[in-house]
Amino acid sequence: MTTPTARLALATCAELPELDSDDHALRDALLERGVATDVVVWDDPTVDWGTYPHVVIRSTWDYTDRPAQFADWTRKVERTSTLLNPASVVGWNIDKTYLRDLEKAGLPIVPTIWLDPERNLDSRAIHTRFPAFGDFVIKPTVSAGSRDTGRYDAGVTQQRSLAITHAKNLLSVGRRVMIQRYLRKVDTAGETALVFVEGQFSHSVRKGALLEGPFREEQVLYRDETLTARDATDAERELAERVVAALPGIAPGADGPLLYARVDLIPDDEGNPVVLEVELTEPSLFFALSEGSAGRFADAIAARL
Ligand SMILES: Nc1ncnc2c1ncn2[C@@H]1O[C@H](COP(=O)(O)OP(=O)(O)O)[C@@H](O)[C@H]1O
Ligand SMILES: [Mg+2]
């Protein structure tokens, strides 16, 4: 850690000490507005967070197998500084069980079966929870960048047993697991990510389908994504707006508008958008795909300083 020079920190992970390249446009846009930034690694023990009145979370993507340490870090930062988004919101958002809260609020999510590690489910009990036919997805509730996520064909015995092993491995280290049918319209339509700044829609992008098959052990921070600019449909825009509007009643501490929110939608088999995830922690914001978006985000940050 070099001596702090700026009063605003952008938090990243050790593997990306200069941020994800997409965020370089944000640094530049902030500088144009007279706001210098330090890029700081969230788990660097030498950092004195108190020197930064404001800390904005960006590419902290390596916490997924130690979420408790990350949540502790957010609370620690908040003792001396303003963390964006706030620790209470992050604490709620890093575990996808928040999708249950959205569902209770009447928002359509990808239909999910939840497996708790405390229940010590055996192979048979896991197996009976798989869909009878078609492809399905196994993923941990704490994940980013499609890590630890796999796609399986229920019609193939060998794939079912790989899926059981995958689920068991996650459960055995205390991770909660999600089973979802693979919503196959994503193969043609892709996923739509809608970015909101201070509660206002900013821009949207299309992400190509990511899952090809069973989970394989690989040491990557995130899976490469095929991204293109895309205008959200009216139905997507309407659903994402509903999600963002519902957050104050659902996410602890989200009383006012959040600096940033990203709502990821995929189509169900009828073609209606459903919520895949809501990223309030460390979303890629895809500035390169939308003219002016880095500037809008920089304006919003500058207004909060
Ligand atoms: N039920 C599903 N149907 C189709 N694709 C899925 C499903 N669940 C996950 N995926 C694919 O896997 C990717 C990662 O899953 P996601 O739930 O977004 O977790 P992460 O937090 O790792 O981004 C998605 O972008 C999508 O391509
Ligand atoms: Mg995702």
Which pLDDT tens digit goes with each residue over 75-102?
999 999 999 999 999 999 999 999 999 9
To the nearest whole number, what is the mean pLDDT of the chain? Answer: 95
Q: Could you give the dihedral angle defined by the CA atoms of residues 103, 106, 107 and 110, in that order, rounded to the nearest 10 degrees? A: 40
Which residue bears the tokens 């707006």? 241
pLDDT for 226: 87
In the chain, pLDDT over 70 holds for what percent of residues? 98
Greater pLDDT, 202 or 1: 202
Which pLDDT tens digit goes with each residue over 234-267?
999 999 999 999 999 899 999 899 999 999 999 9
Q: Which distant-in-sequence residues (6+ apart) come within 8 Å of 176 by Cβ?
A: 95, 97, 114, 115, 116, 117, 140, 141, 142
Residue having the nearest C-alpha atom to atom 2 of ligand 1: 182
SS3 of residue 222 by DSSP: coil
For residues 214-247, one letter each, b for 16 or more C-beta atoms within 10 angstroms of the residue's C-beta and e for the rest, the string is bbeeeeeebeebebeebebbeebbebbbbbbebb
- DSSP code at position 23: G
The ligand 1 atom nearest the CA atom of 184: 4
| Residues labelled catalytic | 223, 262, 279
Q: Is the pLDDT of residue 3 over 70?
A: no
* Cα–ligand 2 centroid distance for 146 (angstroms): 6
Which ligand ends up closest to the CA of 184? 1
Which pLDDT tens digit goes with each residue over 23-37?
999 999 999 999 999
Q: Which distant-in-sequence residues (6+ apart) come within 8 Å of 6 by Cβ?
A: 35, 36, 37, 38, 52
**Domain 112-181, second-level architecture:** 2-Layer Sandwich (3.30)
Angle at 267 between CA 266 and CA 270, to 5 degrees: 165
pLDDT for 227: 93
- pLDDT band at residue 146, thresholds of 50, 70 and 90? confident
Which residue bears the tokens 């023990």? 45
Which range (3-7, 81-85, 141-145, 257-261) has the least confidence? Answer: 3-7
Topology classification of domain 185-288: D-amino Acid Aminotransferase; Chain A, domain 1 (3.30.470)
Q: Do residues 289 and 262 make contact, with C-beta atoms less than 8 angstroms apart?
A: no
The ligand 1 atom nearest the CA atom of 180: 1
pLDDT for 2: 55
SS3 of residue 160 by DSSP: helix
For the chain, domain boundaries: 112-181, 185-288
pLDDT for 50: 96
pLDDT for 219: 60
Question: In the β-sheet with 135-140, what is the strand arrangement from edge to edge?
Answer: 112-115, 177-181, 135-140, 150-153
Neighbours of 149 (CB within 10 A): 17
Q: Which of 65, 96, 211, 274 has most ligand 1 atoms within 8 Å of CB, for mutation? A: 211
